[in-house]
Structure 1
Amino acid sequence: MIPRLIALAAFLLASAACPTGQWRSVALAGEFNPQVTVGDAAPAWTDLPGVDGKHHSMADLDPEKPAVVVFTCNSCDVATGYEDRIMAFAEKHQQEAAVVAINVSLKPDDDLAAMQERAEQKKFPFAYLFDESQEIGAAYGANYTPEFFLLSPGKPGERRIVYMGALDDSTYADQVRTNYLEPALAAALQGELPAIKETAPRGCRIKYPRQKQR
């Protein structure tokens, strides 16, 4: 499996380069994302507080495994409605991929204390981090909760975005017909790009200060 993951990372690195071999100086937006596109370097987070009382960075993740980053929060009904699906995904793939949830919402119901209470109530099997600066959400172009990003294996600076958008095709779990994240991860684990690389995210809008809006 490791050679396939390395091959995927190498392919993504190559695809992110210009025909002249020079790295793109400006990220191109995706179809639904205003900031990044598939193949772009995944923005790294550093020293974010988690509900476990520790501080977390992308560098803490196993560089040989893909990672799923989901921007979520406590106050959005859509986001909380997806919690069980995210938990099931994390538990199913705990040996294959890391799952990291990041909250950039500044609403009172989304502060770190409220996050800790929610995580304890639900018994989240993944890291749940708080970015009060909102910088990592803006760097990913995340505008909804929940919004998902599948990252290739690698160290910070090496990981690339493999898939981004929604987890599946319905806000309501009993109406889901197509899951997008599962086949994306399956393809990544085979060292391939998924057939569907980007979908439109759904959920509550993340409110950024005016100067951070994209």
Structure 2
Amino acid sequence: MVLLKSEIVLNAGDKAPDFNLLGIDDKKHSFAEYKDYKAKLVIFMCNHCPYVQAKVDAINEIYDKFKGKIAMIGINSNDSTKYPDDSFENMKKFAKEKGLKFTYLVDETQEIAKKYGAVCTPDPFLFDKEGKLVFHGRIDNAMKPEDKPTEKTMILNIEKILSEKKIEKDFDPSMGCSIKWKSQQT
């Protein structure tokens, strides 16, 4: 398990790095294609992580609550050679089993995770209409897979963005498994 560190690549106000990644729908997707949404939520995630599995219902709740208003994009950057549970084919199975309706992309080169500064799964980044980072952090305040949340942090922050209110705390560390890098990062 990894707690997000203060070595953040993206800071509040920074523009989202664009990407062109393959989705489980077998089509390429870019950040730019979501420009008309009032907010965009990019979640670095994977299939096998117990922290992601524990958050699937909360992630699906976010999608269901805000579909049509925000864009949701899941990105799997894990090394699927060492972690076959995170392969592209298993991403398709995971999405079907868990009822994921949002875009789920594979970052085979891991370049996008590095550009965002993602370090764990899940690692959510919330952007405003202009594509500027407004919040980097947790889905909710349950920090262990077995914990029950008492605050829906991401939902509260999305509601603020949609009603054009300021998010006071732009970074609130998430906890999860480390991204499985192809070569060790220092």
Same fold (TM over 0.5): yes
Question: Are residues 1:96 and 2:72 paired?
Answer: no
In structure 1, what is the equivalent of residue 88 of structure 2? 112
Which residue matches 1:165? 137
Change in 2 beyond 3 A, CA 1:33/1:85: farther
Equivalent residue, structure 2, for 1:56? 29
Aligned counterpart, 1:80: 53
Of Structure 1 and Structure 2, the greater helix share is in: 1
- Deviation of 1:179 after TM superposition, in Å, equals 2.0
Listed one character per residue, the Cα deviations across residues 16-58 of structure 1 (whole Å, up to 9, x for unaligned) are xxxxxxxxxxxxxx97343121111111111x11111111111
CA distance change for structure 1 residues 162 and 136 in 2, over 3 Å: closer, same or farther?
same
- Name the amino acid aligned to 1:45: F
Percent of matched pairs sharing the same residue? 31
**Aligned residue identity for 1:169:** N
State whether residues 37 and 69 of structure 2, in contact with CA within 8 Å, keep that contact through their aligned partners in structure 1: no
The CA RMSD measured in Å over matched residues stands at 1.9
1:36 to 1, 7, 10: 10
The 3-state SS of whatever aligns with 1:69 is strand
Q: Is the 8 A contact 1:184 1:196 kept in 2?
A: no
Whether the 8 Å contact between 2:110 and 2:181 is mirrored in structure 1 is yes
Alignment of 1:130 with 2:89, yes or no, is no
Higher strand share: 2
1:201 aligns with 2:174: yes
Normalising by structure 1, we get a TM-score of 0.77
**1:21 paired residue number:** none
Question: Which 5+ residue runs of structure 2 have no aligned equivalent?
Answer: none
Q: What CA distance in whole angstroms lies between the structure 1 residues aligned with 2:86 and 2:6?
A: 25
How far, CA to CA, are the matches of 2:78 and 2:7 in structure 1?
Answer: 18
Number of equivalences: 179
3-state SS of 1:203 partner: strand
- 3-state SS of paired residue (2:175): coil
Following TM superposition, by how much is the alpha carbon of 1:61 offset from its aligned partner in structure 2, in angstroms? Answer: 1.2
State the shift of 1:153 in Å.
0.9
